């Protein structure tokens, strides 16, 4: 069960975008597993992908197509990653793009493929291609929630959010959907995210905003420390609201903040729905010499199996936190100057357990579904936040039975 997360009830349409989903029988029977996102002419798109060296065939093809023309269609399947499939996998991905281009009367390069699911199995291109006419006929501006459900794998619920704001007397909408629950450690993670706005942005500004905002959202989450082969985060601007966003505009800050809220919500939703998760944990490191140092400490704590299982057990075993901080790759770290807290409770300070701390107080904090681990290194002015989960037996079961 997701931690303090409900499925979206309504996702606002974005002018210039239509979506559809259908059941293609890729890996599961009786549920939608194929989604299509149609972009109006003139839409601009920016994307970032996994840094895994074994990136999947659709990632390779998506990068190649995006280096050419502006895309018109995004084709997304769940249940099969089409990764580790070599040249046959590349042919399968291309065949689906070619067939959709024929159905939608566009260029093959205007179709961008995305896949998520089991690694190492051939993509059932024939099943996908036979479903494409049905997808096209089902396109609707109201299709966001259905698409969010179609791209799920081990997710327990769809993830999506919308924001609207007034700029120069006109309404600007931002809507996003995402999937992901495990194999989660950015650069990127096993996630797909699609965020769209009807505002108009230059290609340069679109790419800049995506790079900046991904760092503090989708690249600040982890469930299990694994980096997937298929990850992608896409930012889309249709321009249909006729509201132009420029870096020098007074409205830039408001738009940037709304976009940041959407991407942060989606990123945190992935963690809240982490496989087997019972806790949503924020690791907040302050007082570092650099942001990189702060992130190093935060990720070391977030990836510690001993720390994560202590949270699952609701055990305030602060020694595990201390050990994780101490083994982070930080030169000349003086533990006599490090403070560690659980929410409002200081646990460790001045080289030992805090004088006001008691096990009873620590247990009360650990019983909460959401907990912040505060770590102050007292070395500098930089900080970083990472969001993660606990580690339960249910996580082991889900992944042990993933291909069963």
Question: Looking up tokens 């249940």, which residue turns up?
Answer: 79
pLDDT greater than 80 at residue 398: no
Mean pLDDT to the nearest integer, 294-323: 95
pLDDT in tens, 334-387: 999 999 999 999 999 999 999 999 999 999 999 999 999 999 999 999 999 999
| Annotated catalytic residue within 22, 43, 50, 190 | 190
Per-residue pLDDT, averaged over 234-251, amounts to: 93
d(CA 236, CA 332): 44
CA count, 13 A, side-chain hemisphere, 44: 17
C-alpha triplet 216, 68, 256: angle, nearest 5°: 25
Distance CA 12, CA 175 (A): 6
Q: What confidence score (pLDDT) does residue 231 get?
A: 79
Cβ neighbour number for residue 321 with a 10 Å cutoff = 24
DSSP assignments along 25-73, one per residue:
-SS-SSS--EEEEEE-TT-EEEEEE---TT--HHHHHHHHHHTSSPP-E
Helical H segments across 237-304, by residue range: 252-272, 291-302
The fold for domain 17-272 equals: 3.60.70
Coil vs helix vs strand at 156: coil
What mean pLDDT is predicted for residues 165-191?
78
Query: How confident is residue 225, by pLDDT bands cut at 50, 70 and 90?
Result: low
Q: Alpha-carbon distance 225 to 242, whole Å?
A: 42
Residue 343 burial by Cβ neighbours in a 10 Å radius (0-12, 13-18, 19+): middle
Q: How confident is the model at residue 69 (pLDDT cuts 50, 70, 90)?
A: confident
Burial label, 355 (beta-carbon count in 10 A; 0-12, 13-18, 19+): exposed
| The pLDDT of residue 184 is above 60 | no
Q: Specify the pLDDT at position 189.
A: 41
* Domain 280-400 coded CATH 3.10.20.340: yes
Q: How many alpha carbons lie under 13 Å from residue 216 in its C-beta half-sphere? A: 14
Question: How do the domains of the chain map onto residue ranges?
Answer: 17-272, 280-400
- Structure tokens that stand for 113 in this block: 């493929």
pLDDT for 228 beyond 70: no
pLDDT digits (tens, 9 = 90+) for 117-132: 888 899 999 999 999 9
Asked if residue 162 lies in contact with residue 13, where contact means CB atoms within 8 angstroms, the answer is no
Annotated active-site residue 227? The verdict is: no
């Amino acid at each position: 069960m997701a931690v303090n997360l409900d499925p979206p009830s309504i996702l606002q349409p974005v002018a210039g975008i239509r979506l559809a989903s259908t059941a293609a029988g890729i890996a599961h029977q009786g549920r939608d597993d194929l989604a299509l996102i149609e972009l109006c002419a003139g839409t601009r798109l920016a994307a970032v992908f996994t840094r895994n060296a074994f990136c999947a065939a659709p990632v390779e093809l998506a990068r190649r197509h995006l280096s050419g023309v502006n895309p018109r269609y995004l084709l997304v399947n769940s249940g099969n990653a089409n990764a580790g499939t070599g040249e046959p996998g590349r042919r399968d991905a291309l065949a689906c793009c070619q067939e959709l281009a024929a159905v939608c009367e566009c260029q093959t390069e205007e179709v961008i493929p995305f896949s998520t699911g089991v690694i190492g199995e051939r993509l059932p291109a024939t099943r996908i291609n036979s479903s494409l006419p049905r997808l096209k006929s089902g396109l609707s501006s109201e299709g966001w929630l259905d698409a969010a459900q179609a791209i799920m794998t081990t997710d327990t619920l769809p993830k999506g959010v919308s924001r609207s704001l007034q700029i120069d007397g006109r309404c600007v909408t931002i809507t996003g959907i995402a999937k992901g629950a495990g194999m989660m450690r950015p650069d990127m993670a096993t996630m797909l995210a699609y965020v769209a706005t009807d505002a108009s942005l230059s290609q340069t500004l679109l790419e800049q905003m995506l790079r900046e905002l991904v760092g503090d959202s989708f690249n600040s989450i982890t469930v299990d420390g694994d980096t997937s082969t298929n990850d992608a985060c896409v930012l889309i601007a249709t321009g249909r609201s006729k509201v132009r966003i420029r870096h020098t505009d007074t409205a830039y800050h408001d738009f940037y903040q709304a976009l940041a809220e959407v991407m942060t919500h989606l990123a945190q939703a992935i963690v809240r729905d982490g496989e087997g998760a019972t806790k949503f944990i924020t690791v907040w490191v302050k007082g570092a010499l650099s942001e990189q140092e702060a992130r190093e400490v935060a990720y070391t704590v977030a990836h510690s199996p001993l720390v994560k299982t202590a949270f699952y057990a609701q055990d305030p075993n602060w020694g595990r936190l201390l050990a994780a901080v101490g083994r982070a790759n930080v030169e000349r770290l003086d533990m006599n100057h490090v403070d560690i807290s659980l929410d409002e409770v200081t646990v460790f300070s001045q080289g030992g357990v805090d004088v006001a701390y008691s096990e009873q107080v620590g247990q009360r904090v650990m019983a909460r579904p959401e907990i912040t681990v505060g770590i102050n290194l007292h070395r500098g002015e930089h900080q970083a936040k990472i969001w993660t989960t606990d580690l339960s037996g249910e996580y082991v079961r889900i992944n042990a039975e993933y291909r069963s």
